[in-house]
Structure 1
């Protein structure tokens, strides 16, 4: 099974006649789970599908990289995948195209995934809270309201900006509280894998609800509108 490596993981790239491809990437090894840097030497130059093998600097086990070309601006680039995928958490499908989600928040979300896959449970809980803070602050500021700098107060302001149901607000508050626990040292209250995994699930639900689903609904609506316009045009031409 293939695992997608987002562009943020590309450490170095090469350009060959408007053809941009990665030659060094940072990602979690599917075998030992450690985040490492892979050097990529591509065996082919088909400009359709490229293939490379690279060993993990930590455990020395081999992984296969696949680069699938696509148009990018005035040239070519593509999507990068690693095989095997390993038992790691993947970023949400559709998050890169989600409207209203800033590049900074997306990068913070990718960092959270990386921390989780690196088994850094405390860092994961803190980063989940950081992503939540960025999302909430963005919504409050976008609606022209000077919100409180305190996240708990910002969460209370959210129902004035968006039609939330109680479960969604409860999910958001759970991320805030767990992030607070992770940010302060207490041997008796350290988040473990179960807490970190649950927080990642909750964060994904929240991002899907706020950004990905609305974007997908808008795209579907636009497609249906275009279909309707083409039907009307065909009727006009047949009369």
Structure 2
């Protein structure tokens, strides 16, 4: 029995066939060699080498590559269908920019290590790998919390849950962080989301990223913007 035909996922969106700018037409069906596209995660305009792509049962072309932006590196999938003559006439990409979760406004105001960790988490979410989001979200959350302590280097052996629990005692962070500290107590429902032994579905992964964005905005974005406005009026 032959392999079942490839079908494009419902999450894929069509892009213009003119996105393929170089073809190898030495033998039909023609093989795309380079595509001009936009990363569905970081929104960078790209020129991608897709010469490694192959036809499946001679009627469906597939190429899987990565965004060359080192701050993103998202997995990008391109599929071509409906061969007429020497070339296919329909081209799809996943993830597409319309479907991807965009980086939060003001992320550039966070510390560099938090920016990178957050972008890695977001790229994993947009690449459709929710099981890996928990690992990266936990890493990002831990980085956010540790950097909020004035003596972060002395806390290497403290667990994430204890760091969050004790953070309101270390500095005045206000009601949102106090509520997070209560919600993240060990064995709570919220803390279970960040347990690396638990399965993570797409909806949970999205909520974890939202939590990170709220914290980044509260701890870094709003204070810096308010400080900038204050300096303007001084």
Task: Give TM-score scaled by structure 2 length.
Answer: 0.56
User: Which residue of 1 is the match for residue 19 of structure 2?
Assistant: none
Quick one: structure 1 residues 38 and 164, their matched pair in 2 at CA, closer, same or farther if it must change by over 3 Å?
Answer: closer
Alignment partner of 1:177 out of 188, 192, 205 = 192
Determine the C-alpha separation between the residues in 2 that align with 1:125 and 1:144: 23
Q: Give deviations 1:32-65, integer Å, cap 9, x for gaps.
A: 9x773479xxxxxxxxxxxxxxxx76225378xx
Aligned to 1:80: none
The alignment of Structure 1 onto Structure 2 pairs a total of residues equal to 160
CA apart distance, 1:4: 8.0
Using a 3 Å threshold, how does the CA distance of structure 1 residues 157 and 203 change in structure 2: closer, same or farther?
same
Q: Does 1:102 align with 2:132?
A: no
Residue 204 of structure 1, CA deviation: 0.7
CA RMSD of aligned residues (A): 3.6
Structure 1 position 5 matched with structure 2 position 5 = no
Q: Report 1:57-68 matches (<5 A).
A: 58-60=78-80, 61=91
Determine if contact 1:94/1:212 at 8 Å carries over to the other structure.
yes
Aligned 8 A contact 1:112 1:127 in 2? yes
Paired residue for 2:122? 113
| 1:5 partner SS | coil
In 1, the alpha carbon distance for the partners of 2:122 and 2:208 equals 11
The structural deviation recorded for 1:215 is 0.7
Give the TM-score of the pair, scaled to structure 1: 0.55
Q: Structure 1 residues 109 and 144 mapped into 2: Cα distance closer, same or farther (>3 Å)?
A: closer
User: Going by fraction, where is helix more abundant, 1 or 2?
Assistant: 1
Task: Please give the residue correspondences for 1:1-239 in structure 2 after superposition, counting only pairs within 5 Å.
Answer: 5=42, 36-37=66-67, 58-60=78-80, 61=91, 85-96=97-108, 98=109, 101-140=110-149, 142-143=150-151, 146-147=154-155, 148-171=157-180, 173=184, 176-180=191-195, 183-184=196-197, 189-225=198-234
Task: Write the distance in 1 (CA, Å) between the matches of 2:128 and 2:214.
Answer: 21
Check conservation: 1:121, 1:191, Cα contact below 8 A: yes
Shift of 1:86: 1.6
Cα gap change, 1:143/1:160 in structure 2, threshold over 3 Å: closer, same or farther? farther
Change beyond 3 A, Cα 1:95–1:38? closer
Query: What 5-or-longer segments of structure 2 have no aligned partner?
Result: 1-38, 50-61, 70-75, 81-90
Q: Deviations over 1:179-219 (max 9, x none)?
A: 21xx21xxxx5221111111111111111000000011011
Deviation (angstroms), 1:165: 3.9
CA drift of 1:159 comes to 0.8
Return closer, same or farther for 1:59/1:162 CA change in 2, 3 Å cut-off: farther
